[in-house]
Structures are given as C-alpha cells and as structure tokens.
A and B are shown apart, each in its own frame.
Chain A
Amino acid sequence: MALSERVGRIALAALAWVVVLYLLLPLLVIIGTSVTGTAYLRFPPEGFTLAWYAKFLGDSSYLESLWLSAVLAVSATAIAMMLGVPLALALAREMIPGARAISALFLSPLVLPPIVIGAALLQYASALGFARTFLALLVGHTVLVIPYIVRTTTASLSGFNRSLEEASRDLGATGVETFFLVTLPLIKPGLIAGSLFAVIMSWINVELSMFNTTASLMPIPVKLFNYIQYNVDPTIAAVSAATIYVAVLVVVALDLLIGIDKVATTTS
C-alpha cells in the first residue's frame, strides 16, 4: 500500500471518529449538565448532584406529561399495527386494483411536513369539535407512525416463503390460526423493529402535537419545548436526560432483539 494511501485511510478513520463524537456531544452535554451542582447550566459539570432529578420527579406536571406521552406512543402504535399489518398483508398477497396508490398513501405521512399535518388536524378537529383532546392527538400520532409499520411489514413479507402457509392450511389450520401460528412468528422481527420505531417517533414528536395541546394535556416534548423558550435550568437538563435514557434503552433493545445494524439499514 502506498504511503499516500495509508495516510488517506488514517485521515478517513480519524474524521469518522470526529463525526461519531459530534453525534454524541450534545447528548453527553445534557447528561453532564443534569448532574451539575451549580444552579445554572454548566458543562463540564461542577460537583455532582441528583437534586435536579429529584426536583423533576417531585413535580407531578412532568410525570403527567411523561405518562401522557407513553400512553399516546403505545396506543398510537397499537392502532397503527391493527390497521397497518393487515393492510400490508393484503397488499402483498392479493392483486388489488390501485395497490400502488394505496401503499403510496400509507407512506406519504413520512414526507409531508408534520407541522402541516398538525395544523390540518387542528383545523379539522375544530370543525368537528374534538380539537385539543386526547382523541385529536391519538389520531394524529397514528397517522404519523403508520408508515413505519406498513413499511417494515411489507419488507418482512418480501422474502417470505408462502408454501409454509399453504402447508399449514393443508394440515387443517384455519386462516386465522395460520396467521398466528405461521405468518406472525416469521415476520415478528420486522414487526418489533417497526413498532419500536413507531413508538419512538410518537414519543419524540413536537411539531404535530403542539397544535392540539392544552395546559393539562401536554406530551413531554411539547412541555420541554414551551419551557426551554423562557427558562433553562438544570431541571430541564434532567428531564431531557431522562428522555435520552429511554432512547438508549430502546436502541439497545433493538440491538439485542434483532441486531441494530440490520434494523438501521432496513427500517430507514
């Protein structure tokens, strides 16, 4: 290997590690700031305290927001799965007129600005009288996450051996039994990846939610957003850090269950 090429390889690797650091830095800064002993944001932290965590865990409005976000993420994903999985199955199996248009429709929330989806939903819900309610948030988040479910289910089905299902039917299983005993276990990794992605995309959303919130109905990212615009102190860093821990847990779960390298290059 020529010298210039070796230098090039080292430079390539060194720069890549700089990018990895760049990706980590803002997250590390928040985690660091959340344990600072000072009353203002400081990084590197001075001293060590868990007082900011205690303060946020003692504030019921944060806990209510966290709970609302969790309920919203899980229920939107559950509904999206009940709608999206059967749809993806039917589209993959049957010759349905307009199948391409239908699958494009189900992927389109990915490319439309969430802020416009949020505004549209506020207006629509106002006209129908359910603006700024849990229902408005729930249908909005379901629309937001359904593409992840449809896409991963479709991808899982593309390499699927259908003779397994036929064998199951030949041996006397009903269609429903075959789905739960044969089809579902085979597409399970894709479904887990898709649903975890869906949960997270709902969990971190601000743009769509912020139109339909009230003081007592405020998912945690919207609450953080409102707070950060007026005041920043280490309590906010502690709440933010808590959401980072959730993200890390989900990513590690994805890695252990399926392998993050596989998820990363098929789900995105």
Chain B
Amino acid sequence: MTLSKASILLLVGVPTAFLVAFFILPFVLVLLESFRGETGALSLAQYTKALGEAYYWETLYFTFRISLWVSLIAFIVGYHLAYFILRVVRRRALRRLIYIVVVTPLFTSNIVRSFGWIVLLGRRGLINQTLVGLGIVETPVALLYGEFSIVLGLSYIMLPFMVLTVASVLQNIDRSLEDAARDLGSGAWSAFWRVTFPLSLPGVIAGSLIVFTLSVSAYVTPSILSGGRQTVMSMLIYQQYGALLNFPFGAALSVVLLVTTLALVLAYLGVLDRAQRTA
C-alpha cells in the first residue's frame, strides 16, 4: 500500500506542526529570552550572572555529583535485579510478579514515592526505630534532609528505569554463550564478566544515560528530601520562573543546565568510544 503524496503530507505534517508549535517554539523562546538584559536589549548579562557567581557553580556541581552517585547506585543495584529476573528466576509467573513490583513504583508519582521515604527516614520512622531497637544506635540519627536522603530517594526513583533497560538487553543475549564459556572451564564469575557483561554494555550505557539525565533535572525528589537545606539546578530554575517571575534568568539557568548535561553526556560517550577502540 502506498500512500498518496497529499496524505503523507497530512500524516507527517500535522503532528510535526504540533510539535513545532508547542515544543520547538517554546524552546526557541527560552533561548531568546536568556539573551535579554535588564532593559530588554540583547545582552549576555544573564550568563555573566549565572557563570560569574560561585553559588551557581556550586549548585551545578552538587547537582552533577548527586546524579553521578545515583547513576552508580542504580547501575549496581539495577543490574543485579535485572540479571536475577532473567537468568536466575525460571518460572514466568514469578518473573511477572517481580516485573509488577518494578513497574508499580514507576507508575506512582515522585511525590508519593518521596513521601514514603520521609515516613521511613524520619526520627520516629521505621529505620530509626529498627536501628534503636537493635541497639545499633542509642538515639535516632538524622537521616532526612541532606545529601544522603536525596541520593537514596533519587536512586529509588531511578531504579526501575535501569532494571528495565538492562533487562531488555539481557533478554536478547543468548544464554548458551555463557554456558559455552562454562563448558570450556570458565568459572561462573569469570564467564559473567568476560561474556555476558560485555554483551550487555549497550543496556548499561543506555540505562545510565537515562538515569543521569533524569537525575540532573529531577525537581520533586530533591526538593522534598532536602527539606530546603540543599539546592539543585531545577530548584533554582523553578524559583526564577515560578516564584520570582524572572524569566530571562530562569531561561539562562535552563540553557546552562541543558548545555552542561549535553556536554557531560557527549564526554561520557566519547570516553566509551575510545575505550572500545583501544580494547
């Protein structure tokens, strides 16, 4: 079945026009806005402010630092669970049950999930009760409202993305490759590291990129779990747009966040590419 030229134009043109109108143009407007000075004239004032003050650099650094921790934790924990689901669990019913447990948090708002951690990590929360009850600590520890709770909460939010991305790659890797390595005398651990893990790298790369970019721009979880004591870039952007109505500066901060994230992603892919070529 071939479509006529006119209908192709309609089928492709209308959706594309929609995205241009409500997605591309708003971004162009943000970009233009970020080059507006106090008086409305074209200027780099917003950028000299965003890049000239140590506070904004520190916030940017803090945002990237927690995102790296989250990516690392999500990778270790998520890979483990994905491997378990596909290579250890044999019954499909059990596998489906675990997938339900993985997907349900993904289908629940970040607010609700972060709220769960507030209840768990509070001074009278389950974790402190358990720690005190077991005699590990004498008085409740401050677990909430710091880097620890942000990283823990964000890792929790991001874990399903990593599990699902790694699982979708792992399920296409032929099990018999690992079995062959075993038959040739390789131990389970080295068969995994030399055969399965390298083949699953595309999933690890895709998963860590998703987790990293989502963490860098996360707003809800850091603002709930920081208790206002720590600031990430998205909180600054929302302040400028939502509270202070300073669109030009909010726009400049958005552009800084987008550009630095993109630069880090490209650097990561470049390093991987080089590592692959020398390997």
Question: Residues on A close to B: CB < 8 A?
Answer: 5, 8-9, 12-13, 15-16, 19-20, 22-27, 29-30, 33, 41-44, 83-84, 86-87, 89-91, 93-94, 96, 102, 105-106, 108-109, 111-117, 119-124, 127, 139-140, 142-143, 146, 162, 165-166, 169, 175, 178, 200, 203-207, 210-211, 221, 224-225, 228-229, 232, 236-237, 240, 243-244, 246-248, 250-252, 254-255, 259-261, 263-266, 268
Q: Which of A19, A25, A26, A84 contacts B15 (CB 8 A)?
A: A84
Q: Which secondary structure dominates chain B's binding surface? A: helix
**Would you call B23 an interface residue if the criterion is a C-beta within 8 Å of the partner chain's C-beta atoms?**
yes
| B16, closest chain A residue (CB) | A102
Which 6 A-B residue pairs are closest in the complex by CB-CB distance? A26-B116, A113-B217, A268-B164, A16-B84, A247-B107, A120-B26
Bound state CA distance, A229 and B247, in angstroms? 24
Q: Which of B84, B161, B223 contacts A12 (CB 8 A)?
A: B84
Bound state CA distance, A31 and B271, in angstroms? 45
Bound state CA distance, A93 and B122, in angstroms? 55
A–B pairs, 7, beta carbons within 8 Å = A22-B77, A27-B113, A123-B33, A146-B15, A169-B1, A240-B115, A246-B107
CB distance from B112 to the nearest CB of A (A): 4
Bound state CA distance, A166 and B1, in angstroms? 6
**Would you call B60 an interface residue if the criterion is a C-beta within 8 Å of the partner chain's C-beta atoms?**
no
Looking at the complex, which of B39-47, B51-59, B133-141, B234-242 is the stretch in contact with chain A? Answer: B234-242
A-B contacts besides A86-B11, A91-B12, 12 pairs, CB < 8 Å: A5-B187, A5-B188, A26-B156, A86-B14, A115-B217, A120-B27, A121-B26, A142-B22, A200-B107, A204-B109, A206-B110, A265-B171
| A259, closest chain B residue (CB) | B96
**Would you call B126 an interface residue if the criterion is a C-beta within 8 Å of the partner chain's C-beta atoms?**
yes
CB neighbours of B250 from chain A (8 A): 119
Q: Which of B18, B30, B96, B118 contacts A232 (CB 8 A)?
A: B118
- Taking a contact as CB atoms under 8 Å apart, the answer to whether B119 and A119 are in contact is no
- Taking a contact as CB atoms under 8 Å apart, the answer to whether A268 and B234 are in contact is no
CB distance from B269 to the nearest CB of A (A): 13
CB neighbours of B49 from chain A (8 A): none
Q: Number of B interface residues at 8 Å Cβ cutoff, please give it.
A: 87
CB neighbours of B102 from chain A (8 A): 23, 264
- Taking a contact as CB atoms under 8 Å apart, the answer to whether A113 and B257 are in contact is yes
- Taking a contact as CB atoms under 8 Å apart, the answer to whether A90 and B116 are in contact is no
Contacts known (A232-B115, A260-B103); A19 close to B80, Cβ less than 8 A: yes
- Taking a contact as CB atoms under 8 Å apart, the answer to whether A165 and B12 are in contact is no
B85, B95, B171, B219 pick with most chain A CB within 10 angstroms: B219
- Taking a contact as CB atoms under 8 Å apart, the answer to whether B237 and A119 are in contact is yes
- Taking a contact as CB atoms under 8 Å apart, the answer to whether B112 and A268 are in contact is no
Interface residues in B58-116 by Cβ distance below 8 A to A read 77, 80-81, 83-85, 88, 92, 95-96, 98-105, 107-113, 115-116
CB neighbours of A122 from chain B (8 A): 241
Bound state CA distance, A41 and B119, in angstroms? 7
CB neighbours of A268 from chain B (8 A): 161, 164-165, 168
